[in-house]
């Protein structure tokens, strides 16, 4: 047997069957270990628990310790601050009781992973104590029972509902103290048994703490609801290490830090059964890595692969609405700076059978429903899509939707994700064409053509649609689905298919197309995420793989999945033992080998050659006449003596896995292992005119060329065979394990708390089964076999040092720790002292905790009494002081109130005086006015009486005319006011317009000044250029005149000499030369004159045009043209003329230089010729 690290292997024990009742909720109760005279009151943050009856005293609820004096709770909180059990630990108190005389030992039928009798020597702790223990009911659930009394090996216990039982001590399992309720690491539990682990997980689950550590393993319980544990704030907190509670972020952060620090590849292995939350956990892990390693932009592409893989690889099952029907390994690569540089995805064992058949209440792959619901009208018409209910592959299960999921919206998310990972529109269209073709393949029907049940496809809408979508001929499609070409020697025989064979051929084609499409999509994603030259070799791999599965009927898929989990479990065990060994060696403690369940026997059952399960399966698959029954019989014949194998009736057999026994039904094993697709179907795909089916056909032909020699060579058998599904899966698994062996692994076990997928429901039996299957309880058992409780010297001395005398407690932490162990007589075999930590066996920390609690209880009692006395004395003194202070305050307050009242009285008197005087004055004025009015009335009456009626009438008429005049005057004034207002408004409007016009005038003046400056600058430039040209021309004239004068002087000298020595003949020659020189000079002068005339003419023209444009611009001249545009054209003309003129001037200068050289050379030659003749004549 193989051994791992310091541990020796032993054969696995048969595990206990899980209880059949999974619907019952565990009736856990809080552990009680406080004295009877103490009572509890309900904590506002704790969940309500049922009341537990105590024989010696009552206490209810779970939460805050309540005493008669109020400060006791605060003291206990302060003392418990250094607790090594995390922030959620609550201080519990010990209970002295002399009634318990027997040790609580485990039940014999309990699995060995829960109880190790050699580590159960805790008599010094549990003897004579009144404790609680776990009792298993008949339905498999665990109840927290209270031990009332003990007599030898017999115990009397009381259950929460009040029932009292008498039983043996070995049927109980010990419970942990209250301080360990809800610890975030199961290794901190003193008693690592099944009910304690289940209770701790439920305690945290009820408080939305879904993550718990089990040593190196993170246990994640699916809450089936949104919990506020994610987001940028939590990412930043775990990045800064400000939060230390268990979390997926913490696992990802640890992997990232170790990769950067050690430069070693890391792996995060996520497992669990369907519906446990593996896919979401993988997403959360990728989000954290993308947040910390992002920056290059590729992290967004990596996250966008999830919608694509979920659409094409996930489906709704009875256990999970988004179940991954394949395993995947996402390898994320990092650059030297720690940023994500790329990724690669590897998939395992896609469930192809789901394409053609689904169980009742389940769905096929999401992409089928998303395409039918969300495809745009143009795509629907091109793909000939119909409603989901009209496709046979989808309607058999009678399940078309998922609660709370919009398939149309999800389809748009898939389209967006495909764009992000750089799958172009044509490739997307081809992929959806293949999906539609698979749907239409399921609608193809067959008709029987003869008495032998031979069939041919019916030419209907389905057949025509498949042929059109795949761009193949209808005849080729009919032949591929109804016939099979068989090669016998050199001849090819065409065999007609029966109805079952034709249906199998049709379904095999559909499954192969979808499988190739899935692999092609993964390949396209990998191309988009490829690392290239940026690869540094450092990576973090996230493995999202199916967990151990055990159903009522287990088929080939469960066979492969459980085989993979056996391999992963062995990798997990080896890594765990390695960590244990490293920690023991690092602290320098004495350790011994610990037995563990080695699953090598089960792996040999699968892998051994030639009589292993996989070998026998491949061997039987090579025989054409092999059936599922013959395969089952062969297994029973060759493997009946294997300890992990047991044959059953008919086609069934049983395998003892590490997680328990699983019964497999061999029905369909051979067909799924062969995964046959005949060459006719491959040729059909290769004959299609679109590229994607041709790529699929090429891939299938490549795989079919990889052949292995068959195990047997018999007549009628196949000499060679295509690689079977089991063989390919085994090769993939070995490659995966080799990759994981080269990484530092981190484990996350996902747990599904209930099968209803509802929040708040915790099924004890279901959780327990998963804990066994994913190996968490095995981790607990291994840790329990060693030293599960570990505490640093500093924490240990701070927590328990006060129990010693002051002279001892002031020493160094190591000496204090050793003194504590000796003082309380802890057995040497129950602990080990390391360099930095103390290592304890199971339950040993409870002894010290009990003593500490009792000591603290006494201290709290003394403190409460003393504080009560101090409080009463302080209260009396305080009351006396208050009375004296109140008397002074009240006197001062009364004096202030009297002063304020006196001031108010004086102020009121002054106010009353002024108010009364004012009122008297008002009354006097009113009386005076009334007297005047009365006098006026009387006097008027007297006047009217004397004047008579005529005067009265005249007076009335004058008053009427005066009122009319007043009315007219008022109207006239109103009209004048209106006109004045209107004039003022018009004046304001004119002023505003004037202001605008002035602004525009200023703008025009500014522009005009700019134009004038530009014109002046241009004119200066032109004048300079004209002057330069004129100076060049004058220089040319002077140089020409000087040359002319030189030539004439030379000609005169030469002429005199010739006349003196030669005579008439030579004079004729020199006359011709003189004539040529004069002609050259005249030609040069004419050229220069023409250039000078042209210069003057052009200068005049450009100057006139510029002055005209300036006049037009300034408004002094009228012309229908754009001055700016004409000025630009004039400038271009001037530049072009200037270049041309300069070029001609250079050419003229060159010609003049050439003529000058010729003129100088010719006389010299003639002179030399003459001189030669002269010398010859003299010699003669």
Residues 6+ apart with CB under 8 A from 149: 99, 100, 155, 156
Lateral strand order in the sheet of 340-348: 211-214, 217-221, 744-751, 266-271, 538-544, 327-334, 340-348
**Integer Cα distance of 400 and 315 in angstroms:** 11
Helix (H), strand (E) at residue 153: none
To the query of whether residue 917 is one of the catalytic residues in this protein, the response is no
Residue 47 DSSP SS3 = coil
Q: Euclidean distance between the first and final Cα of the chain, in Å? A: 135
Catalytic residue, candidates 442, 547, 834, 846: 547
Helix (H), strand (E) at residue 1001: helix 949-1061
To the query of whether residue 8 is one of the catalytic residues in this protein, the response is no
Catalytic residue, candidates 30, 97, 141, 279: 279
To the query of whether residue 1150 is one of the catalytic residues in this protein, the response is no
To the query of whether residue 279 is one of the catalytic residues in this protein, the response is yes
**Integer Cα distance of 668 and 560 in angstroms:** 13
Catalytic residue, candidates 95, 190, 314, 323: 323
**Integer Cα distance of 845 and 174 in angstroms:** 14
Residue 592 DSSP SS3 = coil
Interstrand relation of 327-334 and 595-597 (parallel, antiparallel or unpaired): unpaired
**Integer Cα distance of 9 and 3 in angstroms:** 5
DSSP string, 1022-1043: HHHHHHHHHHHHHHHHHHHHHH
**Integer Cα distance of 826 and 784 in angstroms:** 18
Radius of gyration of the chain (CA): 54
To the query of whether residue 258 is one of the catalytic residues in this protein, the response is no
DSSP single-letter state for residue 180: G
| Tokens read off for 857 | 């209880």
Catalytic residue, candidates 24, 149, 274, 792: 274
DSSP single-letter state for residue 724: P
DSSP string, 5-44: TTBEEEPPPPPPPPPS--SSPP-------S-TT-EEEE-T
Each residue of 974-995: b (16+ CB within 10 Å) or e?
eeeeeeeeeeeeeeeeeeeeee
CA nearest to 600, candidates 7, 12, 6, 5: 12
Residues 6+ apart with CB under 8 A from 685: 470, 513, 693, 694, 696, 697, 700
E-only strand ranges, 458-520: 483-488, 491-496
- Cβ neighbours of 494 (radius 10 Å): 10
Helices assigned H by DSSP within 623-759: 628-639, 669-674, 679-686, 691-705, 725-741
**Integer Cα distance of 617 and 1113 in angstroms:** 101
Q: Tokens 């059953």: give the residue.
A: 648
**Integer Cα distance of 85 and 62 in angstroms:** 18
DSSP single-letter state for residue 552: S
To the query of whether residue 324 is one of the catalytic residues in this protein, the response is yes
Catalytic residue, candidates 92, 140, 275, 786: 275
**Integer Cα distance of 656 and 652 in angstroms:** 14
Catalytic residue, candidates 46, 95, 320, 1054: 320
Each residue of 2-17: b (16+ CB within 10 Å) or e?
eebbbbebeebeebbe
DSSP string, 895-930: HHHHHHHHHHHHHHHHHHHHHHHHHHHHHHHHHHHH
Catalytic residue, candidates 317, 324, 430, 622: 324
To the query of whether residue 242 is one of the catalytic residues in this protein, the response is no
**Integer Cα distance of 1095 and 1157 in angstroms:** 27
Helix (H), strand (E) at residue 1148: helix 1123-1179
CB 113 within 8 A of CB 777: yes
To the query of whether residue 926 is one of the catalytic residues in this protein, the response is no
Q: Among all residues, which ones are annotated catalytic?
A: 274-275, 279, 320, 323-324, 547, 549
């Amino acid at each position: 047997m193989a051994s791992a690290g310091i541990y020796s292997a032993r054969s696995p024990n048969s595990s206990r069957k899980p209880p059949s009742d999974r619907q019952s909720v565990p009736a856990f109760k809080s552990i009680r270990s406080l004295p009877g005279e103490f009572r509890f009151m309900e904590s506002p943050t704790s969940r309500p628990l049922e009341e537990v009856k105590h024989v010696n005293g009552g206490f209810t609820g779970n939460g805050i310790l309540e005493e008669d004096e109020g400060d006791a709770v605060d003291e206990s909180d302060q003392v418990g601050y250094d607790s090594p059990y995390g922030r959620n630990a609550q201080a519990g108190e010990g209970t002295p009781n002399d009634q318990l005389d027997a040790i609580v030992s485990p039940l014999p039928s309990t699995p060995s992973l829960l109880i190790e009798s050699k580590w159960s020597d805790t008599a010094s702790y549990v003897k004579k104590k009144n404790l609680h223990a776990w009792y298993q009911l008949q339905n498999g659930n665990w109840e927290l029972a209270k031990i009332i009394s003990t007599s030898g090996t017999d115990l009397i216990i009381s259950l929460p509902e009040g029932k009292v039982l008498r039983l043996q001590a070995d049927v109980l399992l010990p419970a942990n103290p209250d301080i360990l309720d809800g610890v975030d690491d199961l290794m901190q539990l003193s008693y690592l048994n099944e009910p304690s682990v289940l209770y701790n997980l439920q305690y945290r689950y009820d408080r939305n703490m879904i993550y718990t550590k089990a040593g190196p393993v993170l246990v994640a319980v699916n809450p089936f609801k949104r919990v506020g544990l994610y987001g940028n704030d939590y990412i930043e907190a775990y990045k800064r290490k400000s939060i230390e509670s268990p979390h997926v972020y913490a696992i990802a952060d640890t992997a990232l830090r170790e990769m950067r620090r050690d430069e070693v590849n890391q792996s995060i292995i996520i497992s669990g059964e369907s519906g446990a939350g593996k896919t979401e956990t993988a997403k959360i892990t990728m989000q954290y890595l993308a947040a910390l390693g992002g920056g290059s932009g590729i992290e967004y592409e990596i996250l966008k692969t999830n919608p694509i893989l979920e659409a094409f690889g996930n489906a709704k099952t009875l256990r999970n609405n988004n179940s991954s029907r394949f395993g995947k390994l996402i390898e994320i690569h990092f650059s030297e700076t720690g940023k994500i540089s790329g990724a690669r995805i590897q998939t395992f064992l896609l469930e192809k059978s789901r394409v053609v058949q689904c169980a009742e209440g389940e769905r096929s792959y999401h992409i089928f429903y998303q395409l039918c619901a969300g495809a745009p009208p143009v795509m629907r018409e091109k793909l000939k899509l119909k409603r989901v209910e009209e496709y046979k592959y989808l309607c058999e299960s009678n399940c078309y939707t998922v609660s709370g999921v919009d398939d149309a919206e999800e389809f748009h998310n898939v389209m967006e994700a495909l764009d992000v990972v750089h799958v172009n529109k044509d490739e997307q269209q081809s992929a959806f064409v293949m999906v539609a073709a698979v749907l239409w393949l399921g609608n193809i029907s067959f008709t029987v053509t003869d008495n032998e049940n031979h069939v041919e496809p019916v030419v209907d809408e389905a057949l025509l649609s498949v042929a059109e979508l795949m761009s193949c001929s209808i005849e080729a499609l009919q032949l591929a689905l109804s016939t099979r070409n068989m090669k016998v020697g050199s001849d090819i025989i065409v065999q007609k298919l029966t109805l079952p064979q034709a249906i199998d051929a049709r379904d095999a084609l559909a499954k192969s197309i979808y499988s190739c499409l899935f692999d092609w999509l993964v390949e396209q994603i990998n191309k988009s995420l490829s690392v290239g030259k940026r690869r540094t070799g450092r990576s973090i791999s996230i493995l999202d793989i199916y967990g151990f599965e055990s159903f009522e009927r287990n088929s080939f898929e469960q066979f492969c999945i459980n085989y993979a989990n056996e391999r992963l479990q062995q990798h997990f065990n080896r890594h765990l033992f390695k960590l244990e060994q490293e920690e023991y060696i690092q602290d320098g403690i004495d350790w011994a080998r610990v037995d563990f369940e080695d699953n090598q026997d089960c792996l040999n059952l699968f892998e051994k050659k030639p009589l292993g399960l996989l070998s026998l399966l491949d061997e039987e698959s090579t025989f054409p006449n092999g059936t599922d029954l013959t395969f089952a019989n062969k297994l029973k014949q060759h493997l009946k003596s294997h300890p992990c194998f047991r044959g059953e009736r008919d086609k069934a057999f049983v395998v003892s896995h590490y997680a328990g026994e699983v019964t497999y039904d061999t029905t369909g094993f051979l067909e799924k292992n062969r995964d046959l697709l005949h060459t006719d179907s491959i040729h059909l795909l290769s004959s299609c005119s679109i590229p994607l089916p041709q790529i699929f056909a090429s891939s299938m032909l490549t795989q079919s060329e990889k052949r292995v020699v068959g195990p047997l060579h018999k007549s009628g058998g196949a000499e060679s065979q295509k690689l079977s599904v089991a063989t390919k899966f085994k090769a993939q698994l070995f490659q995966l394990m080799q990759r994981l062996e080269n990484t530092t692994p981190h484990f996350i076990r996902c747990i599904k708390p209930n099968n209803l997928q509802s929040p708040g429901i915790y099924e004890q039996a279901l959780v327990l089964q998963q804990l066994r299957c994913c190996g968490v309880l095995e981790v607990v058992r291994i840790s329990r076999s060693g030293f599960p409780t570990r505490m640093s010297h500093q924490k240990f001395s701070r927590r328990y040092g006060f129990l010693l005398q002051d002279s001892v407690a002031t020493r160094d932490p190591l000496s204090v720790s050793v003194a504590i162990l000796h003082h309380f007589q802890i057995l040497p075999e129950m602990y080990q002292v390391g360099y930095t930590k103390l290592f304890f066996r199971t339950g040993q920390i409870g002894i010290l905790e009990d003593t500490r609690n009792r000591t603290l209880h006494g201290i709290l009692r003394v403190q409460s009494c003393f504080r009560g006395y101090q409080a009463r004395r302080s209260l009396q003194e305080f009351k006396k002081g208050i009375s004296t202070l109140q008397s002074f305050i009240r006197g001062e307050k009364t004096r202030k109130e009297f002063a304020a009242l006196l001031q108010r009285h004086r102020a009121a008197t002054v106010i009353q005086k002024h108010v009364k005087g004012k009122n008297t004055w008002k009354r006097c004025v009113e009386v005076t006015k009334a007297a005047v009015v009365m006098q006026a009335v009387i006097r008027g009456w007297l006047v009217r009486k004397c004047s008579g009626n005529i005067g009265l009438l005249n007076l009335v008429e004058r008053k009427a005319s005066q009122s009319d005049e007043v009315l007219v005057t008022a109207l006239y004034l109103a009209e004048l006011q209106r006109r004045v207002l209107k004039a003022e408004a018009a004046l304001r409007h004119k002023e505003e317009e004037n202001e605008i016009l002035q602004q525009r005038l200023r703008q025009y003046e500014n522009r005009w000044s700019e134009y004038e400056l530009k014109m002046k600058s241009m004119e200066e430039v032109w004048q300079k250029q004209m002057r330069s040209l004129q100076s060049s021309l004058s220089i040319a004239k002077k140089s020409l005149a000087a040359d002319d004068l030189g030539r004439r002087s030379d000609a005169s000298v030469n002429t005199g000499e010739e006349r003196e020595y030669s005579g008439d003949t030579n004079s004729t020659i020199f006359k011709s030369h003189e004539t040529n020189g004069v002609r050259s000079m005249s030609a040069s002068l004419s050229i220069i004159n023409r250039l000078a005339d042209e210069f003057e003419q052009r200068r005049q023209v450009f100057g006139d045009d510029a002055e005209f444009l300036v006049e037009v611009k300034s408004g002094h001249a009228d012309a229908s043209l754009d001055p700016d545009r004409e000025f630009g054209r004039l400038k271009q003309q001037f530049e072009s003329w200037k270049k041309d003129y300069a070029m001609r001037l250079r050419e003229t200068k060159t010609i003049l230089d050439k003529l000058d050289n010729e003129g100088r050379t010719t006389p010299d030659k003639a002179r030399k010729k003459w001189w030669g003749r002269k010398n010859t004549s003299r010699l003669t």
